[in-house]
Amino acid sequence: MDVPEARPLRVLMTTDTVGGVWQHSIELARALAGWGHRVVLAALGPPPTQRQRAEAGAVRGLTLQVHEGTLEWMHEPWDEVRRAGEWLLALAGRLRPDVVHLNQFAFGALPFDAPTLVVAHSCVLSWWQAVHGEAAPAQWDRYRAAVRAGLEGASAIAAPTQAMLAAVARHHGVHRAGHVLPNGRNPRRFVAGTKRPLVLSAGRLWDPAKNLETLRRAASALPAGWEVRVAGPTRGPDGQAVDTHPLCALGPLPPSSMARAYAAAAVYCLPARYEPFGQTVLEAALSGCALVLGDIDSLRETWEGAAIFVPPGDAAALGDALVRLLADEPRRRELADAARERALQFTPARMAGAYLGLYQALRQAPDRHPPATPPAAGPASGAPGAQRAAQPFI
């Protein structure tokens, strides 16, 4: 896909180091850099791992900057969110980007000189409703206010699915027109190997939205000879942990090992209660897995016709669906082929082209939708965790 541009764009993009936003940011930056655009990736949250630093370092045209601290969805984060905002404003002042791409909400309220895009990858209020079946309690009111201010202050709002855009409007009361910008993954990084009698699930297993508990309960129904494996961290950033027994827990895996796990699995099962896009589902589909997914709007939107859907809280229904599928190899092949065909639509080039088109539109828009009540910014000298002094884009 060839997307011409009169001159390379200068993009300041935020990310975090905890979840799938990191992989999304790296994939997008790699595709943009391949077209000659320059990206400074501002990593927030816990310090990047050695593997994450190596991933960023392997992308030509990408500069990694790091600010360690608590993320907006974590416990009592606001002093550190404020400091991160001051650091971002100072960074943007030195770099003079054409567009600021924010993968967190609160920073949309900051007075950047460049137009801003806030991308809603997930939010606590929609997560809480999906997991607990009720509105988030009053303890999240400050988060509510910060998210709404960020959404109202941004030049544009986007999400990876229409379902997530609708959730943002519903839970935060911001009814501006938004943009659906699906994620993408490079299909060359995933292959369908010789399939074994394995069911795989992956993600932040400590997150109840991934619904590991229902998979644990359903696993007892599987026929002899089949194994359920789960990959990913079992302990969250606040110390919360989950019990994976009787499933085979692989722990967090580097990308190469994760690709091998997908390649060997005949079925990928994610009975999610909440999943705004489904990055691991995309990777599994590219790896030739048949998909069994939670029946929620976002996964239906992306995988309708290419997966089996099961009510997230129904362990018996999940067990029955898996038993039938494991006994029917032609059906597994049919579903795997349909999933891979669908997955091949979600390429990095297509993703980057959609983002680039929006970046260009924001640059040309006469009204950049400045924030109403921007917070004051201070100097960023001595900002904790800075990897190296920022240099202006060339």
pLDDT, tens digit, 9 for 90 and up, residues 78-120: 999 999 999 999 999 999 999 999 999 999 999 999 999 999 9
Residue ranges, comma separated, of all CATH 3.40.50.2000 domains in the chain are 10-184+347-364, 187-343
Question: Which residues make beta-bridge pairs with 41?
Answer: 13, 64
Which alpha helices (DSSP H) does 106-222 contain, by range? 124-132, 141-153, 162-172, 212-219
Across the range 301-321, mean pLDDT stands at 97
Please tell me the CATH code under which domain 187-343 is placed: 3.40.50.2000
pLDDT tier, 6 (very low <50, low <70, confident <90, very high otherwise): low
Quote the strand ranges of 143-280, DSSP E: 156-159, 179-180, 196-202, 227-231, 248-251, 265-270
Closest CA to 154 of 199, 198, 105, 192: 105
- Is it the case that residue 219 has pLDDT exceeding 90? yes
Per the prediction, the chain carries an average pLDDT of 90
- Is it the case that residue 271 has pLDDT exceeding 50? yes
Give the C-alpha separation, 155 to 115, whole Å: 6
pLDDT tier, 366 (very low <50, low <70, confident <90, very high otherwise): low
Across the range 46-60, mean pLDDT stands at 94
Report whether 285 contacts 340 (CB < 8 A).
Answer: yes
- Is it the case that residue 332 has pLDDT exceeding 50? yes
Q: Which CATH class is domain 10-184+347-364?
A: alpha beta
Host H or E run for residue 258: helix 255-264
- Is it the case that residue 376 has pLDDT exceeding 60? no
- pTM, to two decimals: 0.89
Rounded to 5 degrees, what are φ and ψ at 284? Answer: -65, -40
pLDDT tier, 374 (very low <50, low <70, confident <90, very high otherwise): very low
Give the C-alpha separation, 58 to 186, whole Å: 15
Q: What share of the chain has pLDDT > 90, as a percent?
A: 82
pLDDT tier, 226 (very low <50, low <70, confident <90, very high otherwise): very high
pLDDT tier, 365 (very low <50, low <70, confident <90, very high otherwise): confident
Q: In angstroms, how far is CA 130 from the centroid of its own chain?
A: 17
The pLDDT assigned to 368 comes to: 53
Across the range 188-205, mean pLDDT stands at 93
The pLDDT assigned to 384 comes to: 31
- Report the half-sphere exposure of 326 (CA within 13 A, side-chain side): 24
